[in-house]
Structure 1
Amino acid sequence: MAAPIAPSKLQALQETITTFLLDPRNHDLLTILKGLRNGLVYGTKVRFPHALVMVLLFRTGTLRSKATQILTATRTHATNLGLFVTLYKTTMLALRHLSPTGKERSADSFVAGALGGYVVFGRGGSGNSVNMQIVVYVFARVVLALAKLAVSDGPLWYPEAVQASMRSSMVYLYDNAETWTGIRDFLIHNK
């Protein structure tokens, strides 16, 4: 059995990790990793209760087969959301580095979203019921936002056109992946 780590060594390790996390040179890579983390966590938080209710109410089979269905749907949702956020953040970073100004351009988020959407949800994955539900949810929210913008009297800031639940998921997945103050809000809990 391994000996426990001495408190002073544990504190030194924690300080080393915190220094690495807060070093601006590591920010871009760590944003991608935190985006993956946020996608995995959010996908689990959203899908598990939904799958639990839907499977227990509407599926037949043994308790074991129902548990497997719940865990499979949760894993699929979390993995695909984590992969999408990772591809999106990586593509945005690459496009920013390819830009002559070194800054994001207006079409970059569209390109990153289209690429991530195609890779994660488009190539044969659309037959998967979890993916289909995600695509329908996002599509419906985007169409509703576009309709709001089309009938708006004056200038409407475009994030405000998106339904509140969709907007809060976007903040969790993408914006919260940009900031942290240490190990706790990088790995364990956002803000």
Structure 2
Amino acid sequence: MDNISKQVQIFVRDPKYHDILAVLKGVRNGLVYGGKVRFSHALVMTVLFRHGSASDKMKLVIKATREHARNLAMFVFIYKSTLYGLKNVNGKEQDSDAFLAGLLGGYYVFGRGGKSSVNQQIVLYVFSRVVLGLAKLSVKKKVLPGLKGDVGNRVWPVFAASCWGIVMYLFRTDPDVLQPSMKSSMDYLYLDSNHWDSLKTLVWHNR
């Protein structure tokens, strides 16, 4: 048994197998991270806003958790496998490889994978980080002159103001183009708060 353990240790430390083992560990980390993030979020949202029995709610939580974990694991697998494949073809790693591998993984996992609520939330989360990252990059690369000091602190106020200004304009003029769960929460905050017919519906209950 000790000999098998030693052989396994030698195998996992052998640089020759690093790339394939890195892909496998990436898949493992995608499963774990996706499960952790989605389970807590789905549990809270389902308990607070979904109707039905406890059993039905738990099935929804498990389904969302499984989808999030599976999709992240699959994306990591495609992304890292593509990176290593391109490195072998080109003879070295290139920055453009990350973009190409991301395109491929994003298309097959989150594009062709269907427009589920889980996929939408993940892609929109990534999109918001991309926009903020590009805003910071424009300052860092001096595309936008005149902004000095900490890049994040200088860009953030403009980014936050632009997001809220645009979303509130869309909510007022064309609310149907907003993501349904966001529109629902905005209805609750900004429209339902305009209506009440008693102290009960003013303070204790929405309606």
- The answer to whether the superposition gives a TM-score over 0.5 is yes
Which protein has the bigger helix share? 2
Is it true that 1:147 corresponds to 2:138 in the alignment? Answer: no
1:69 to 44, 60, 66: 60
Is it true that 1:45 corresponds to 2:36 in the alignment? Answer: yes
1-side partners of 2:141 and 2:95: how far apart? 24
Query: 3-state SS of the aligned residue for 1:61?
Result: coil
2:77 to 77, 82, 86: 86
2:117 to 129, 132, 143: 129
Question: Corresponding residue for 2:98?
Answer: 109
Shift in alpha-carbon separation, 1:123–1:151, aligned structure 2, 3 A: same
Cα distance per residue 1:169-188 (max 9 Å; x no partner): xxxxxxxxxxxxxxxxxxxx
TM value normalised by structure 1: 0.72
Query: 3-state SS of the aligned residue for 2:35?
Result: helix
Q: Which has the higher contact order (CA 8 A, sep 6+)?
A: 1
Deviation at 1:12, TM superposition (A): 2.9
TM value normalised by structure 2: 0.67
Shift in alpha-carbon separation, 1:112–1:153, aligned structure 2, 3 A: closer
**RMSD, matched Cα:** 1.8
2-side partners of 1:114 and 1:49: how far apart? 29
Question: Which protein has the larger Cα radius of gyration, Structure 1 or Structure 2?
Answer: 2
Shift in alpha-carbon separation, 1:110–1:137, aligned structure 2, 3 A: same
Shift in alpha-carbon separation, 1:153–1:111, aligned structure 2, 3 A: closer
Among the aligned pairs, what percent are the same residue? 54
* AA partner of residue 74 (structure 1): T
Query: 3-state SS of the aligned residue for 1:41?
Result: helix
2-side partners of 1:42 and 1:15: how far apart? 30
Structure 1: gaps (5+ residues): 1-8, 162-191
